[in-house]
Structure 1
Amino acid sequence: MTLTFLAGAGLAIVSWFLKDQDPWWSALLANMAVVVLLLIPGELLLAGVRNRVETVADTATRAELTADQAQQSAEATARSLDEVRQVLVDRQVDELEASIDRYRDIVKVPDRESLIGALRQATQEDLITSDGVRVPVWETDVHYRFVVSEAEPSLVVRLEQDDGTVLSESAWDVHTSPVDFYQALVSAVRAAGRDLGTGLNLPTQSVEELSAMLVEITRLRSQELAGHRQTLRRVIERRNGWYFTEENVLPVENLSYTIGVDRLHEPDWEEHLRNKGWYTAPDAIQFARRLYDSGAPRSSASSGGEA
């Protein structure tokens, strides 16, 4: 626009100087000056349009940048929440695994302290009864009952029949090594006439079963919404695919099905459960009647069973 104005002004000045000397050229240059100066409004208009177009383009670009920044911020926030969520989950899993490690340790570190610590924790967490927990002696009709005292760090293992009759009792004192203590349990089984022979009378196998059961119960009870915390609690024994607790008898393969201890006297349980496909049920019901009729630990209010 500035160049156009200068060109028009120059033509007008030259025309003025020539008006006396050469009127024709003066008129021609004057007309040209008018034409050039008339271009200025058009340029102004064109410049305004161009500026508005550039402004719109700049606004659109800024809007796109703002949208991109907002999206990036949202994605960063989402990533941050995911990271926080994962950290929280990892910590909770670590807590669960730390609890489970206590039960694994009775196999990895088979000393008196690890067994007492595991049994105390299991009692405090309501996994087993305060009267201890039983584990079958492999391929026999007798059971080890592990009992730990809360008042002092003492551990006793009783050898019992199905109905709780105590055949022997072995205390593990601080001066007894793991090998000597487990040998005492071997001798107890042998004295009870249940020794299966060389290489088959192994109380360590029962301790491994105890560890596996405590790990399994802890995992099953780790989430409230799984529904096992109220039924799978204060376990007396796990035997042949069935849990026997203070209040219920439960099949391992379907823990939502509970048989209240106070309903075991009802007839036809064996046939009813066999019809559901649980062919070990007759043995489990007969065992439960021997166990609970002997006064096995139970709460004052047993839960009802399912039909």
Structure 2
Amino acid sequence: MSLRLLFHIRISRLVRTQLNMDSREELEDRRAKERADAEKRAADAEFQLSAEAHSKAKKARRAAALNVLKAKWGRWLRGHRLWWMIGSFFVGVVFVFGSYFSDVASPAREWRNPWLSNLLVNAGTAFVLFGLFYVLTERLSARVKLTERDVGQTQSDLQNIEDDRLAPRTDSTRRGNGLAVEAERPGPQDDDTLSHSASIDAAPSIAEVVQAGMARRRLEEEALYEKVATQPTSKLVHMALMKAKLSGVISSTGPRCELRETDLHVRFLASVDSAQVILQLETADGVILATLAWGESNDAGAVIIALGTVLIRLDLYPGDQLYFGSDLLTQLSDLLMYASRYRQSVTGERDIHGVIEVLDSGWVIMDRGMVPKTYRAYLVASSRLDESDWASHIRNKAWPESRYVEEALAIARGLHGVVLDQD
């Protein structure tokens, strides 16, 4: 019994061992097959990628060659534009004459070919028109390029002006930083080190110092003019008027501002004997109606109220809702800042100086004439205000001020004492 049991156990072990060996071989075969399949797929993918890369590279080379060909062809065409134009004219003329000879110069009527004649006429006309349109487009392209260049130059000039305005502020910041460093400077024991460092730092050139100083002076002047609207006192307005008069910003007769919603104007004069400011109520042509003195004891509001009282006495008061006397100082500030900013152009020419009044319509009236704000190069000289055709000449201009030229001319002629002949 025990021998039979041992025999069965031995047989079962042999069977399991054989089965395990078979399953291991099958597993190894399966793994080998999977590895082979994976290698094949990788090889196929690599071949596909290489084929795609080769195709893309081929397309890229073809596109590059095409671009080179286009560039060469374009350069050749641009270099032979004149010959293309001459050739088109020549071919067109030849075709037209050919149509004439084919239709007229044939010895016999049966040899004449009207279809060929019409074809040659149409082709010749097309070539001639091609040449004409080519000339027109070339001229138009040249004008467009010239306009773009002028616009770019103007933008560059405006950017330079803006940079000049901002430069002093940066310089002030640097000076503030320099003061902070000065406050933190160590004691005398480090004088040798500091002197050595100072010798290393390059000093600014004279041109830079001059430009910074002039820009700082201009900004300080504009800041004073801005305070005329924000912090108006008789002393400050008097100081601003005197500075503007001495620098040539305004006319020696004083600047004027429009009293809106009326036909009146107010002229500001700086008293020579005291710090008073004289306000003259005038008509459009400069006739003085009333005079007010603005002393240090009165604030701006009191002076504007006194001006309203004068208007009531003269029966010229427009009413509480339409009395904009408080805008006069704002207009004066804007006039001073505008004239100060544009009294010297980028090219060095003094465009705006001796300003009498800046009208709401956009016209600037000066001692030497009047100009529109949007096109300061166009000057109607005071010596030519007696010419009667200015209105018809300016009315159709593209500037927005051209619509109000009659009103501006009437005011300018009145201020300069110009009377037109009625003949």
Q: Indicate if the aligned counterparts of 2:339 and 2:355 stay in contact, CA closer than 8 A.
A: no
Question: What SS does the aligned partner of 1:140 have?
Answer: coil
Match of 1:191 in 2: 313
Match of 1:242 in 2: 363
2:394 to 264, 273, 288: 273
Match of 1:94 in 2: 216
Match of 2:133 in 1: none
1:162 to 276, 284, 299: 284
* Deviations 1:198-256 (CA, angstroms, capped at 9, x unpaired): 243132201101101111111112556252x2x42111111121111111111111111
Gaps of 5+ in 1: 1-78, 296-307
Q: Indicate if the aligned counterparts of 2:258 and 2:265 stay in contact, CA closer than 8 A.
A: yes
Match of 1:31 in 2: none
Q: CA deviation at 1:261?
A: 1.0
Q: Check 1:85–1:275 CA distance in 2 against 1; reply closer, same or farther (3 A cut).
A: same
* Letter in structure 1 aligned against 2:371: L
1:232 to 349, 352, 372: 352
1 CA distance for matches of 2:404 and 2:315? Answer: 26
Q: Is 1:252 equivalent to 2:373 in the alignment?
A: yes
Q: Check 1:291–1:105 CA distance in 2 against 1; reply closer, same or farther (3 A cut).
A: same
| Aligned alpha-carbon RMSD (Å) | 2.5
2:271 to 141, 149, 152: 149
2 CA distance for matches of 1:266 and 1:84? Answer: 49
Q: Check 1:252–1:216 CA distance in 2 against 1; reply closer, same or farther (3 A cut).
A: same
Question: What SS does the aligned partner of 2:374 have?
Answer: coil
1:284 to 394, 408, 418: 408
Q: Indicate if the aligned counterparts of 2:386 and 2:418 stay in contact, CA closer than 8 A.
A: no
* Letter in structure 2 aligned against 1:98: E
Gaps of 5+ in 2: 1-200
Greater relative contact order structure (CA < 8 Å, 6+ sep): 1
Q: CA deviation at 1:84?
A: 8.8
* Deviations 1:102-143 (CA, angstroms, capped at 9, x unpaired): 111112211110110011011001111222111110122100
* Deviations 1:253-286 (CA, angstroms, capped at 9, x unpaired): 1111111112111121100001223121122112
- Equivalent pairs, count: 215
Length-normalised TM-score, structure 2: 0.47
* Letter in structure 2 aligned against 1:137: L
Q: Check 1:294–1:149 CA distance in 2 against 1; reply closer, same or farther (3 A cut).
A: farther
* Letter in structure 2 aligned against 1:271: S
Q: Indicate if the aligned counterparts of 1:271 and 1:282 stay in contact, CA closer than 8 A.
A: no
* Letter in structure 1 aligned against 2:312: R
* Letter in structure 1 aligned against 2:224: R
Length-normalised TM-score, structure 1: 0.63
Q: Check 1:271–1:188 CA distance in 2 against 1; reply closer, same or farther (3 A cut).
A: same
Match of 2:93 in 1: none
* Deviations 1:142-162 (CA, angstroms, capped at 9, x unpaired): 000111123432321010001
Q: CA deviation at 1:192?
A: 3.4
Q: Check 1:226–1:242 CA distance in 2 against 1; reply closer, same or farther (3 A cut).
A: farther
Question: What SS does the aligned partner of 1:275 have?
Answer: coil
> Is the helix fraction higher in 1 or 2?
2
Q: Check 1:99–1:160 CA distance in 2 against 1; reply closer, same or farther (3 A cut).
A: same
Q: Indicate if the aligned counterparts of 2:369 and 2:380 stay in contact, CA closer than 8 A.
A: yes
Deviates more, 1:274-283 or 1:245-254: 274-283
Question: What SS does the aligned partner of 1:285 have?
Answer: helix
